[in-house]
């Protein structure tokens, strides 16, 4: 089956090797006989609901975020409609911030968000940097850990009742205080975890693939297990580094 991915602003939001997430999805899909059809969606190009099974937005610094914020806001209706129609979405760091309602940068400039995630972000005076470990429950009763790297000044505050991606075991997370990291709305997930995220968290890569396939099939399929020994080792190394930082900051 062909999985169509809309990669938003790869020419702007592309720091910290986050484009490696696309490479992981492509390989894990191919190992199971699927094809990942990645299509660039950049400035002045619309997001058409129904066209994409998965939308991806990478991370960027304040300068790059400012360059795309107005254009992304013009795509707001298309992105929200795509997710409402069952498309999956992954947004990382800068992309995560811009998919909330707004982001106030380090210089006090308010950048518009698209309001997909129920949150707002304001840049603080210090950056929150280091390995981070989360505990997630994306399926009822099934708890797993996500390991990654965070490097952000943004303090992201979720609305009351909003669903985080996970609980911070070690690291800072959304704001260094709440104990939560990321945000989830249905099949859409936003997170600060860089690194890139998916090579060291194969279960999460497969969750995203299943959600993207569900856009066509109606329900997430049971994916054929893969031999993930190396990926699991990478996860364990990252998790240990995060745990040496101690508990939630």
Helix residue spans in the chain (DSSP H): 20-30, 62-74, 76-84, 94-98, 202-217, 229-243
- How does DSSP classify residue 118? S
Main-chain phi, psi angles of 80, to 5 degrees: -65, -40
Per-residue model confidence as pLDDT tens digits over 106-117: 899 999 999 999
**pTM value surpassing 0.95:** yes
Active site residues: 93, 194
Strand pairing category for 119-139 and 54-57: unpaired
The band of 246, judged by pLDDT with boundaries at 50, 70 and 90, is: low
Q: Where do the domains of the chain lie?
A: 2-243
Closest CA to 106 of 126, 87, 91: 126
> Distance of alpha carbon 43 from its chain centroid, rounded?
20
Per-residue model confidence as pLDDT tens digits over 31-53: 999 999 999 999 999 999 999 99
The band of 249, judged by pLDDT with boundaries at 50, 70 and 90, is: very low
CATH fold for domain 2-243: Rossmann fold (3.40.50)
């Amino acid at each position: 089956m062909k999985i169509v991915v809309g990669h938003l602003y790869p020419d702007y939001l592309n720091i910290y090797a986050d484009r490696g997430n696309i490479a992981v999805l492509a390989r894990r899909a191919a190992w199971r006989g699927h094809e990942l059809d990645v299509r660039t969606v950049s400035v002045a190009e619309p997001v058409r609901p129904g066209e994409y099974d998965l939308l991806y937005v990478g991370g960027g610094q304040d300068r790059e975020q400012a360059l795309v914020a107005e254009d992304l806001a013009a795509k707001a209706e298309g992105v929200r409609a795509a997710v409402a129609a069952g498309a999956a979405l992954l947004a990382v760091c800068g992309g995560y911030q811009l998919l909330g309602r707004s982001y106030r940068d380090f210089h006090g400039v308010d950048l518009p968000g698209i309001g997909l995630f129920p949150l707002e972000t304001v840049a603080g005076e210090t950056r929150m940097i280091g390995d981070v470990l989360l505990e997630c429950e994306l399926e009822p009763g099934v708890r797993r850990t996500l390991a990654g790297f965070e490097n952000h000044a943004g303090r992201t505050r979720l609305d009351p009742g909003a669903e985080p991606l996970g609980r911070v075991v070690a690291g800072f997370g959304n704001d260094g205080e709440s104990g939560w990291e990321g945000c989830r709305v249905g099949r859409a997930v936003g997170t600060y975890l860089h690194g890139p995220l998916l090579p060291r968290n194969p279960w999460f890569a497969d969750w995203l693939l299943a959600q993207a396939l569900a856009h066509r099939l109606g329900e997430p399929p049971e994916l054929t297990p893969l031999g993930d020994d190396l990926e699991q080792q990478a996860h364990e190394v990252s998790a240990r580094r995060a745990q040496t930082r101690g508990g939630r900051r």
